[in-house]
Amino acid sequence: MAVPAKNLPADIITDILSRLPLKSLVRFRCVSKPWLYFITHSRFPYWLLYRHLNCDPLTYCPHSQSNVFLSYNNKKQCREIGGSDSKLFSFGGGYQEDAFGSAMEVDFPLIKGKSFQIKTDCCYGMFCLAIQQNNTNNKSTLVLWNPSIGDYRILPLPEELGICEGVCGLGFDSSMDDFKVVSVCEKQAHVFSVKKNSWKNIGGLGYHVFYDGVPANGCLFWAASKTRKFADKILCLNLSNDTFMEIPPPPFDKSTSRHTWFQEEEEVIVVAELNLLLWGNSLCAFRQYDQSLWVMKEEKEENSGVVKEIIWTKIMSIPKISNQESHFRIYYRLHPICFTKSGKLLVSVRRKWFVMYDGVKYQDVHVHGIPDGRYNKATVYTESLISPASIRGMNDID
């Protein structure tokens, strides 16, 4: 005998709603008062978050619609904030292949006509922007923003913290249901607790870190080095206790050449380094000089949950793309972005154009609607209902 929808137990209604895409949830708020109550309840975004945390990397979570965000400005250097023509674009909705052909500009009133920089990768629907206050000084506002629902939160920024000069990261501490922003500048690290609305200095690192931190498994990961030459190590910040540790990189083939010539913009550089990215909820490492892509898995103690071993599995190696106009053996620098639903890999070339790799060959991806030239940053974005303005943590919610 069928049970009327209005008499369904609360846990079943919650389970049904948690399986729906975010756009459907927004529409279904008007279905009934119980549905409106559940969808707008302060705990509901956290239920979705924990469901996402438990998703297998190859399993599609319907409420987690993903796409790629690109920021453009008129500066050549990645770390510089550009001019007033800075723009933000989105493409690749749901990682469907046909969605990578066109992009649309993202509207956010705080960045309209201003210079800005994406400072972190996306973490459960949110990322941080540094927005220059005006063109006459270098002071910036740090904003935590969820584009899915349009909510944002301006974060306090200490005078001594050079947020634009350093690298950052945004991660989730599941032990405290807290989001944390981490800034690393000149080997000094500061952590901001969104729940507590405060910064703290967690001391020196002894490492140089490259690029922004990648959130995975309750930690933030950086490609790092003891020197400034190249990133050959992986630095991990445990967000539950704000402590750093070095973890072993993938077991790369040591017989391959240690240095390879790559072209980035107009200059030619020598790199032998790692790039980090996400595959589902798992950390991936990409080594530039042999173009190999690896995924990390943590083996934990059954009772304590303590990590006893880190296992790296090689997913694939992608072919180098050479500069055909050069008389020397010079390759374009590649940046893997994400996998499509069909398993193809979207790759950025010199941060200027894109190709799709199907395991055999590359295919050019022509993204209509984005400017010519080199983009500043690409970040994979996953939708969520979490509001930066009302983060208090699940344990604090009535």
Domains and CATH numbers, the chain: 11-54 (no CATH), 66-382 (2.120.10.30)
Nearest CA-CA partner of 296 in 234, 366, 364, 347: 234
pLDDT of amino acid 162: 60
pLDDT of amino acid 50: 64
pLDDT of amino acid 18: 73
Contacts of 253 (CB under 8 A, 6+ apart): 290, 292
CB neighbour class for 206 (10 Å; exposed up to 12, middle 13-18, buried from 19): exposed
Positive or negative torsion for Cα 362, 366, 371, 373: positive
pLDDT of amino acid 258: 52
pLDDT of amino acid 34: 77
Residues of the chain with pLDDT under 70: 1-7, 42, 46, 49-65, 73-85, 94-95, 134-138, 159-165, 254-272, 304-305, 323-330, 392-398
CB neighbour class for 80 (10 Å; exposed up to 12, middle 13-18, buried from 19): middle
pLDDT of amino acid 246: 93
Quote the pTM value: 0.83
pLDDT of amino acid 240: 93
pLDDT of amino acid 127: 92
pLDDT of amino acid 178: 92
Alpha-carbon distance 307 to 238, whole Å? 12
